[in-house]
Copies of this chain bind each other. A is one copy, B any other.
Amino acid sequence: MIKAGIIGATGYAGSELVRILTSHPEAEITYLGSHSYAGKKYSDIYPFFYGICDMVLSEDSVEKAAEECDVLFLALPHGIASSHVNENVLSKCFVIDLGADYRLHDADVYEAWYKTEHMSKGLLEKAVYGLPELHRDEIKKTRLVANPGCYTTCSILTLYPLVKNGLIDNDTIVIDAKSGTSGAGRSEKTANLFCEVNESIKAYSVAGHRHTPEIEQELSLAAGSDIVLDFTPHLVPMQRGILSTCYAKLKDGVSEEDVSRAYHTAYDGEAFIRLASYLPETRFVRNTNRVDIAWKINRRTGRITALGAIDNLVKGAAGQAVQNMNILFGLAETAGLEAAGGV
């Protein structure tokens, strides 16, 4: 059994890792670290896990956890992971960082968007951006996986085939994304209270959300040229789910068939991606690691609308992290991630 540890285990992404790992056929949890709740039983924080994971939380020490684990999942606010991961840690265990610290290859871009110094720039070139559908082969060879953001996973996968195959005008990309509230985390802010979120929808971080450079990095790599785009996140009164509605001008002469071929070439054979005959609804992928993608061409305007849906806590965080673990350890990518969702 793979010995797995989680640092930052009491956030929502951490709890989702616990949910998935406790059902994983080849892994067991051996370390749960928490800054605020060390010493408490995990099931006292999340009674979901009463009788399932009653382990006592340890301190949130990356160094200590590395001694006891084969793989370490970090679910920490940005800036923390990069202060604690180092060569010594990586020599002892694989690290899958669910935070932002190792996602951007360029430390300057990181520091510009996150307004903080990067504390382990030297590791950036060792880190691999953990989107298996794009970087599976590199993931196999690394010890440090930068697990993608939730909005970015959904948006990149939805647009990648179009960009990769040069089917759209890259200057015209607009991503309008909608997320469930678990994406805002478990912090005690007025804005996250039930009565402030329920029965309302809003945009936030317009023209300034930190997932923007991450999407741009990956799509630019796919395009082979720099892309800047508009990304607007919205908060939806639901718990889980992201829907990315992506708009771009199709290049002249691009046909339905060209688009369909691009998506099928990119994703046929992918275990978690469904090129859907229906329009994606976040509920269809809720509690699963699946991605539903569909598109529609508007001949009146010459634009394509591509839609992708994921569960932000699964494919957008914990599920993808486990998918990466599966790759690192040579397991089937779907191990522990096969269950269907439902009503």
Chain B residues with Cβ below 8 Å from A107 are: none
Interface mask (A97-118 → B, CB under 8 Å = 1, otherwise 0): 0000000000000000000000
Q: Is A146 located at the chain interface by the 8 A CB criterion?
A: no
Complex: chain B residue closest to A247, CB-CB: B174
| Residues in B neighbouring A301, C-beta threshold 8 A | 207, 228-230
Partner of A230, one of B192, B287, B303: B303
Complex partner residue of A286 from B172, B200, B204, B279, CB under 8 angstroms: B200
Contacts of A229 in B (CB 8 A): 301
Rank and list the top 9 A-B pairs by shortest CB-CB distance, nearest first.
A200-B283, A202-B281, A19-B342, A207-B298, A176-B176, A194-B197, A188-B188, A206-B296, A181-B194
Do A237 and B236 touch across chains, with their CB atoms under 8 A apart?
A: yes
- A-side interface size class: 35 or more
A259, CB-defined interface residue at 8 Å? no
Contact of A283 (CB < 8 Å), options: B48, B186, B192, B280: B48
Given A193-B194, A239-B195, A247-B230, A279–B201 Cβ distance below 8 Å?
no
A285 CB to closest chain B CB (Å) equals: 8
Residues of B within 8 A of A287 (CB): 287, 342
Tell me if A74 is interfacial: C-beta within 8 Å of chain B: no
* A and B contact pairs by CB, cutoff 8 A, 29 listed: A12-B343, A18-B342, A19-B342, A23-B340, A47-B284, A47-B292, A50-B284, A52-B340, A178-B201, A181-B195, A188-B190, A193-B193, A193-B194, A194-B198, A194-B239, A198-B239, A199-B238, A199-B241, A199-B286, A200-B284, A200-B286, A201-B241, A202-B279, A203-B243, A207-B297, A207-B298, A207-B301, A234-B245, A237-B238
Complex partner residue of A47 from B51, B238, B278, CB under 8 angstroms: B278
A305–B207 CB distance below 8 A: yes
- For residue A282, CB closer than 8 A to chain B, the reply is yes
In angstroms, how far is the closest chain B Cβ from the Cβ of A241?
Answer: 7
Specify the chain B residue showing the minimal Cβ separation from A243. B201
Q: Of B50, B200, B238, which contacts A241 at CB under 8 A?
A: B200
Smallest beta-carbon distance A170→chain B, Å: 11
Interface status of A93 (Cβ within 8 A of chain B): no
A196 and B47 alpha carbons, distance in the complex (Å)? 12
Residues on A close to B: CB < 8 A?
A: 12, 15-16, 18-19, 22-23, 46-53, 172, 174, 176, 178, 180-182, 186, 188-190, 192-204, 206-207, 228-230, 232, 234, 236-241, 243, 245, 247, 274, 276, 278-284, 286-287, 290, 292, 296-298, 300-301, 303, 305, 307, 313, 338-343
